[in-house]
Amino acid sequence: MNHKLTNIPRITTTHLIIFLSFIFFFSGFSALIYQVVWQRLLTLHYGVGGISITLIVSIYMVGLGLGALFGGYLVDRIINRIILYFGVELLIGIFGIISLPLLRVIGRHTAGSSYELSFLYIFLFLCLPTFLMGITLPVLTKIFNRLINDFLSSVSFLYFINTLGASLGTIFATYFLISFFGLDVAVAVAVVINFVMATLIFLVRDSAADDNVTHNIPVSSISRDAIFGNIAYFLVFITGFVAIGYEIIWFRIIGVLVKASPYAFSSVLSIYLLGIAVGSFGMSKYLHRNENIHKKSLFFSLQFLIGISVIITFLGYYYLTKYTSFRELTNISFGTVLHPKLVMPSFGTFKRFLVDLYKLFDVFWWSAFFVLIPTILMGASFPLISLLSLSHRNKEGSTVGTVYFFNIVGNVFGGLITGFLLLPFLKTEKTVLIFSLIGVIFVIFVSRFRGKQVPLNRRIVFATILLIIIVILFPMRGQFYKTMHSWKEEKTEIYLEEGIEGVVVTYKQQNKVKNFINGLGHGGRPSYPFYYETLEALSFASNLENVLIIGFGTGSIVEMIQKSDDVQNITLVELNKTLLKNLRKMNIFVEILDNPKVNTIIDDGRRFLLRTNKKFDLIAIDPVRTTTFYSNNLYSCQFFELVNEHLSDDGIFLIWTDEYKVMPNTVHSVFDYVRLYNSFMLASNAPFEKYAEREKQLLAQFSPKERELILSSGKYVGDQSYIIKEASHYPINKDWKPVTEYYLGLKFKEKFFLDR
């Protein structure tokens, strides 16, 4: 960079550059803390289904894009840009302070609304802070470029430092802040960062004032015939569309391998952002060493290499897993529930040590394997296309803002079309193939290679041959995911379905069924423990006219409840439409789901209860593991209070659990009477009274051997007094304190404090 010293009072230009870099790093850092927390909290009120999540993410991105567009327009027309930047950071911090109470008020009055109204409420909440965040890049680009006189370096370095901050902010928020202190503390930390940054900016406002820095801004060192002009915005839209499509696919693939935990999400996102940051920084260095390179061809080459790198990682994973010992890495990851697994590596044998070490970091390994190289190339594309778009002197801010805006627009459309159309209808393999082929086609526009002109006919022939080879090699009909799943036995039927909610793989061997949802085991048949827990719930219910079941699994709870003559109406709420579609391929599930007592509703369980005033005599939930992403929406004390509001006076609540301290303590914080078993709990506000005749009637419908298996598959542990004695010193799951979902903090405290 050409750091030309200017007459700046108080601090030098070099120090000011370092200072602004520091500020923009923490701007990205705090922004991602907000994004992680706000997105998580919005699902409490508007659901965790594919539509709800897409609405939240799309609105967030639209706000950023509009802010960038407006910020770019504004910053080229005002003089005191540093005061503008100060105001933006200050306002973000102020909104951060009011965001949680504001969301609580909005949620109280709007939760469970239709998707159309939910869109409006989410937009009203997110529009201001995301708009302000979007302003920061073009504003700081303008300020920074006035200091160093190098547009490419300004965009490249600022995009790098801000995205690097975002990458680290994602990890810090999930692995530390939320895990140990909760969502509310995470927001408080982000607010403090905003106010510290605003204060520092205000203190140096005179040193960074526009009249204290040079105004001699060259457009760039590129030749005029290398400028894209307005066509750049179309290209940015296309690349943004494909980039977010890849991101959604990567989340899905890696989510199957390492399960859908909050740490899986943040790890993939952090590697994605890290790759973008490294690529952005590297592009500036590369172009300054190769000033005469044909930059249009370089841009198209990058898009080609993105497609090729995705193809290599996708096909490489598939064929290595299918035919080589590389499969061991998949088997270890797929067979492990918690990622990362907080255990110290064993020193028993060297192999055991390596396996344990791998389990600690496999969530990052798979993220890097699939994501890192393509995102480095994506990151390199942004400053390059910004440079190729700059055609007017003194329009750095509006150029960057407009490029960023069209990139975001591409992201939004790419997310909607990939999530709602391509993946459900074409599935992962064909979607990856289409995006990769788009990248390969870009090679046709690489008119120069190593300084020499490449004839168009050669480019077309090369692209055509490459396309044919790729299509031939690509797996189809679900073979990619079938290779990942490791439950194999002879004469096994495999059913696979992919939809908006993810990937469902079900194995059937005669009467045995094993089911996986996004790589995580969810139910199977025969399932005597589920029969036992349902039998217990039915035996303690005084009335069974209306029953609510949240989560179908593989239908054992629904099937058992159908066997009771006292049950009149069963409302089944299942979030995963893809699951039901896959299970309906087998007759046993068709019979259960088509039972005249059953009314199936596709919705988020919490969202459903927020939308209905109906009361139930028995509510049973068996949705997800307590460590799964968004699980706390159904395992917090606030959700249990919501359940309590929908129970009849002596109604029974059945809760499956895989955690035996926080969960019992949380349930008992809401219900007066609790019965704890080895894998579930019963809760009520009335004393438990067993109805032996109903239990006898239900068991009579099974063979003697089945009755023996049912009764031996569960164990009563204790009542509320036992919970008080054994678990009262444990924390309680709350909406803002998702203790079991963000399990690392709990595991750490158990290891060093709670169980000592």
CATH of the domain at 558: 3.40.50.150
Tokens 């930390």 sit on residue: 189
Q: Which of 463, 486, 509 is the last residue of a domain?
A: 486
Asked whether residue 610 is domain-assigned, the answer is: yes
Residue 501 lies in a domain: no
The answer to whether residue 512 sits within a structural domain is no
Answer for the pair 17, 147: CB distance below 8 angstroms, yes or no: yes
pLDDT of 755 reads 65
Q: Is the pLDDT of residue 347 over 60?
A: yes
Name the β-bridge partners of 550.
Answer: 573, 621
Is the domain of 452 the same as that of 567? no
Residue 307 has pLDDT above 90, yes or no: yes
SS3 489: coil
Q: How confident is the model at residue 10 (pLDDT cuts 50, 70, 90)?
A: low
541 within some domain: yes
Between CA 10 and CA 722 the distance in angstroms is 67
Closest among 626, 573, 604 to 742, alpha carbons compared: 626
Interval 425-467: pLDDT, tens? 999 999 999 999 999 999 999 988 887 888 999 999 999 999 9
Question: Beta partners for 366?
Answer: none
My answer on whether 196 and 254 are in the same domain is no
The DSSP call for residue 371 is I
Confidence of residue 488 (pLDDT cuts 50, 70, 90): low
Give the domain extent around 572. Answer: 527-754
CB atoms < 10 A from the CB of 706, how many?
Answer: 14
204 and 233, same domain (yes or no): no
CA 414, 420, 421: angle at the middle one, nearest 5? 85
Ramachandran assignment for 628, one of left (phi > 0), alpha (psi -120 to 50 degrees), beta (any other): beta
Q: Is the pLDDT of residue 42 over 60?
A: yes
| pLDDT of 124 strictly over 50 | yes
Q: pLDDT tier at 223 (50, 70, 90 boundaries)?
A: very low
Number of structural domains in the chain: 3
Strands (E), 556-672: 569-574, 598-602, 616-621, 647-656
Within-domain flag for 277: no
pLDDT in tens, 534-591: 999 999 999 999 999 999 999 999 999 999 999 999 999 999 999 999 999 999 999 9
C-alpha–C-alpha distance, residues 538 and 748, integer Å = 38
Mean pLDDT of the region 41-50: 86
Q: Among the listed ranges 249-263, 420-434, 436-450, 481-495, which one has the minimum average pLDDT value?
A: 481-495
Rounded CA gap, 48 and 630, in Å? 7
Q: Is residue 492 part of a domain?
A: no
Q: Let me know whether 264 and 201 are in one domain.
A: no
Q: What is the DSSP letter of 226?
A: G
Q: Quick one: which H or E segment has residue 245?
A: helix 231-258
- Between the alpha carbon of residue 103 and those of residues 116, 174, 467, the distances in Å are 18, 20, 49
The answer to whether the bond into 374 is cis (omega within 30° of 0) is no
Residues 213 and 233 in one domain: no
- Rounded Cα distance between 221 and 469, Å, is 39
Q: What is the mean pLDDT of residues 295-308?
A: 94
Check pLDDT > 70 for residue 220: no
Structure confidence at residue 5 (pLDDT): 38
What is residue 266's predicted lDDT score, i.e. its pLDDT?
A: 93
Q: Where are the beta strands (DSSP E) in 415-492?
A: 448-449, 452-453
Contacts of 510 (CB under 8 A, 6+ apart): 491
Q: Give tens-digit pLDDT for 75-93.
A: 888 888 888 999 999 999 9
Residues 32 and 145 in one domain: yes
Is there a single domain that holds both residue 444 and residue 325?
Answer: yes
- Which residues partner with 574 through β-bridges? 602
What is the longest distance spanned by two Cα atoms in the chain? 93
d(CA 321, CA 303): 27
Which residue bears the tokens 């935990």?
261
Give the C-alpha separation, 237 to 232, whole Å: 9
φ and ψ at residue 700, rounded to 5 degrees: -65, -15
> How many other C-beta atoms lie within 10 A of the C-beta of residue 343?
12
Q: pLDDT class for 400, splitting at 50, 70, 90? A: confident
What is the spatial distance between Cα 47 and Cα 53, in angstroms, rounded to a whole number?
8
C-alpha span between 289 and 153 (Å, rounded): 12
The enclosing H or E element of 706 equals helix 704-711
Whether 254 and 127 share a structural domain: no
List phi, psi (to 5°) of 486.
Answer: -115, 5
Residues 170 and 234 both lie in one domain:
no
The residue among 486, 517, 550 that closes a domain is 486
- Domain stop point among 198, 218, 238: 218
Please return the burial class of 406, using the count of CB atoms within 10 Å of its CB with bins 0-12, 13-18 and 19+: buried
The tens digit of pLDDT for each residue in 157-182 reads 888 999 999 999 999 999 999 999 99
723 Cβ partners below 8 Å, 6+ apart? 664, 665, 668, 674, 676
Residue 519 covered by a domain? no
Pairing assessment for the beta strands 680-684 and 716-719 based on DSSP bridges: unpaired
Domain-embedded: residue 503: no
How far is residue 157's CA from residue 163's CA, in Å, rounded to a whole number?
10
CATH code assigned at 25 = 1.20.1250.20
Task: Read off the pLDDT band of 612 (50, 70, 90).
Answer: very high
Residue of higher predicted confidence among 69 and 491:
69
pLDDT mean over 641-667: 96
What pLDDT does residue 209 have?
Answer: 59
Cis bond before residue 623 (omega within 30° of 0)? no
Torsion of CA 52, 55, 57, 59, to 10 degrees: -150
Looking at residue 150, its pLDDT comes to 80
Q: How many residues belong to the chain? A: 756
**310-334 average pLDDT score:** 94
* DSSP character at residue 586: S
Give the chain's mean pLDDT: 89
Instruction: For residue 255, give the nearest of 426, 574, 247, 243 by alpha carbon.
Output: 247
Q: Are residues 686 and 565 in the same domain?
A: yes
Chain segment 68-77, per-residue pLDDT in tens: 999 888 888 8
Once rounded to an integer, what is the mean pLDDT over residues 84-109?
93
40, 651, 669 from 663: Cα distances, Å: 20, 20, 10
From first CA to last CA, the distance across the chain in angstroms is 56
Residues 6+ apart with CB under 8 A from 285: none
Closest CA to 220 of 290, 151, 141, 291: 151
DSSP 510-552: TTEEEEEETTEEEEEES-HHHHHHHHHHHHH-S--SEEEEE--
Do 41 and 74 lie in a common domain? yes
Q: What is the mean pLDDT of residues 510-537?
A: 92
Q: Which residues contact 604 (CB under 8 A, 6 or more apart)?
A: 47, 48, 49, 52, 573, 575, 633
195 and 344 both lie in a single domain: no
pLDDT of residue 393: 63
